[in-house]
């Protein structure tokens, strides 16, 4: 009955040798005040002695000269050595902090490569931290989420997950499921006992408690996913409805060209903003119409592709020219199924007294992208559509894959409850609980696949 996690693997699409010493720039490309070269692996001690002439005192910043093979100085800066296992990766780690010029940084990397290291793959430092049990998989993903955070709230949530708050909640659920399985399997192993263990009120109460824990964690994870990944909104509609003006108003600057000429926007324009901490990916698209222009036709094709991937479509209508939203009625059949739509009656300043039309299958609101009237109502509407509640105590960062695993685990628990309460089928209850444990294990990496690892770590920057 014991829960067996899968052994960790360093394979991420292409075979990486975890015994290699790796090197990469840990600061962004380009010029800067400071540039950092990070080295990790068993060869770090020899590399440090060759580049610095000595091995620095562990965990102590030391001023040093970084030298070429012939003794010439490449740069002067700070050297930091971390002895395994007390480092980010769990291996020996050396950081060379020099001047932030790309030529200097590359010269340092080339020197380390000459000494037997190889260039790190994307996310390989964090992958080694995971392989060496310094982080679990949810914490490793939080490293990338913290770097990519689009708001202060998102950064705080990512930090909570990096510190292990999300993992602790998942482990608590796994422990609770383990206790339930022990109780159920005891009933299976001792069927001759006069006591019906499956009818035990304490077992039913514990199962009810686990179900409540799932509900609470799922709600927290939903909010965390919004903080991490945000909402994608596509602005669509006929030409000259004000789509680009709305994009500019939401972005706070002139991101898109606005003219009176129909078809000005021919490609997809993207802006990333935030609404009270919720990242919002706003996509402006070409006006939807029949056209013989090959470039505009391609823009419309791309617009439809973006709509199919969106969380919501804002279909803009010129309220002055089309107060009954006939343009939306005509386009409705061609819009992607399954993607919710809000019909936005734009140019309200030209028709301030016009009532909102009755539109089937869509929410409606009115605004003026030119003046900004109604923009606050739109922001509130978008947050309500996603169920976003802003920053909350203990909010954690989460990803779509975490939500999928939690929902799957919850379904197994609900199935276990049905088997227990309706059928008293102990073997089936135990199996459902085991599968719930497996699903939860995917969140922290206790259960994983090489494909999943490749997808996660390949999205990291090289030096992390």
Paired tokens of 444 = 């922290």
- Of 170 and 205, the structure prediction assigns the larger pLDDT to 170
Distances (CA, A) of 250 to 255, 287, 326, 376, 379: 10, 18, 25, 10, 9
Residue 330 near residue 359 (C-beta atoms within 8 A): no
pLDDT in tens, 20-76: 999 999 998 888 899 999 999 999 999 999 999 999 999 999 999 999 999 999 999
Give the separation between CA 148 and CA 139, rounded to whole angstroms.
14
Residue 25 near residue 95 (C-beta atoms within 8 A): no
Check residue 42 and report its DSSP letter.
T
Give kind and range of the element (H or E) at residue 314.
strand 312-318
pLDDT in tens, 217-255: 998 898 888 888 888 888 888 888 888 888 888 887 675
Residue-level pLDDT at 344: 92
The candidate with the shortest Cα–Cα distance to 285, out of 247, 253, 251, 319, is 247
pLDDT in tens, 84-101: 999 999 999 999 999 999
Check residue 120 and report its DSSP letter.
P
Residue 255 near residue 290 (C-beta atoms within 8 A): no
Q: In angstroms, how far is CA 269 from the centroid of its own chain?
A: 22
Query: For residue 85, is the peptide bond before it cis, meaning its omega torsion is within 30 degrees of 0?
Result: yes
Which pTM value belongs to this model? 0.77
Give the separation between CA 381 and CA 355, rounded to whole angstroms.
18
Give the separation between CA 199 and CA 184, rounded to whole angstroms.
10
Q: Which domains does the chain have, with CATH numbers?
A: 22-120 (3.30.1360.120), 158-227+399-455 (1.20.120.430), 231-386 (3.40.50.300)
Residue 219 near residue 212 (C-beta atoms within 8 A): no
In three-state secondary structure terms, 128 is helix
Strands (E), 69-108: 73-82, 93-100
Paired tokens of 400 = 């779509």
Q: Give me the percent of the chain exceeding a pLDDT of 90.
A: 44
pLDDT in tens, 128-158: 999 999 999 999 999 999 988 878 888 889 9
pLDDT in tens, 182-209: 878 776 665 555 445 555 677 788 888 9
The candidate with the shortest Cα–Cα distance to 391, out of 138, 156, 145, is 156
Say which range, 295-304, 397-406, 410-419, has the weakest mean pLDDT.
Answer: 295-304
Q: Convert 235-256 to b/e letters by CB count within 10 Å (16 or more is b).
A: bbbbbbbbbbbbbbbbbeeebb
Give the separation between CA 357 and CA 355, rounded to whole angstroms.
6
């Amino acid at each position: 009955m014991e829960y067996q996690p899968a052994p960790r693997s360093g394979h991420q699409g292409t075979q990486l040798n975890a015994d290699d010493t790796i090197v990469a720039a840990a600061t962004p490309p380009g010029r800067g005040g400071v540039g950092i070269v990070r080295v990790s692996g068993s060869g770090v001690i020899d590399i440090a002695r060759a580049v610095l002439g000595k091995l620095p005192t562990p965990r102590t910043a030391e001023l040093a000269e970084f030298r070429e093979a012939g003794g010439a100085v490449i740069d002067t800066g700070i050297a930091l050595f971390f002895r395994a296992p007390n480092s980010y990766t769990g291996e020996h780690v050396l950081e060379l902090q020099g001047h932030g010029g790309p030529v200097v940084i590359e010269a340092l990397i080339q020197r380390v490569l000459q000494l037997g290291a190889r260039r790190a793959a994307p996310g390989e430092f964090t992958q080694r931290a995971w392989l060496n049990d310094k982080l679990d998989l949810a914490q490793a993903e939080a490293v990338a989420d913290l770097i990519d955070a689009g708001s202060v709230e998102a950064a705080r949530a990512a930090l909570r997950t990096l510190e292990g708050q999300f993992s602790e909640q998942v482990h608590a659920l796994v422990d609770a499921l383990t206790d339930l399985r022990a109780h159920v399997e005891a009933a299976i192993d001792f069927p001759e006992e006069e006591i019906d263990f499956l009818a035990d009120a304490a077992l039913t109460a514990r199962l009810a408690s686990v179900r409540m824990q799932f509900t609470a964690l799922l709600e927290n994870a939903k909010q965390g996913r919004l903080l991490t990944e945000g909402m994608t909104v596509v602005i669509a509609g006929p030409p000259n409805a004000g789509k680009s003006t709305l994009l500019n108003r939401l972005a706070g600057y002139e991101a898109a060209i606005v003219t009176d000429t129909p078809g000005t926007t021919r490609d997809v324009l993207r802006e990333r903003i935030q609404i009270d901490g919720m990242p919002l990916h706003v996509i402006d698209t070409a006006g939807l119409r029949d056209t013989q222009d090959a470039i505009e036709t391609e823009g419309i094709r791309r617009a439809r592709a973006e709509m199919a991937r969106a969380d919501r479509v804002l279909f803009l209508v010129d309220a002055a020219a089309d107060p009954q939203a006939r343009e939306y009625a005509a386009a409705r059949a061609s819009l992607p199924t399954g993607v919710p739509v809000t019909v936005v009656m734009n140019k309200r300043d030209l028709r301030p007294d016009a009532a909102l039309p009755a539109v089937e299958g869509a929410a409606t609101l009115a605004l003026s992208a030119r003046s900004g009237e109604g923009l606050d109502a739109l922001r509130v509407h978008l947050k309500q559509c996603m169920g976003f509640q802003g920053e909350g105590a203990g909010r954690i960062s989460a990803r779509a894959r975490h939500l999928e695993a939690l929902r799957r685990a919850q379904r197994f628990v609900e199935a276990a409850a049905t088997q227990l309460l309706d059928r008293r089928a102990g073997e089936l209850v135990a199996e459902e609980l085991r599968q719930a444990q497996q699903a939860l294990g995917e969140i922290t990496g206790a259960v994983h696949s090489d494909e999943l690892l490749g997808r996660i770590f390949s999205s990291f920057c090289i030096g992390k």
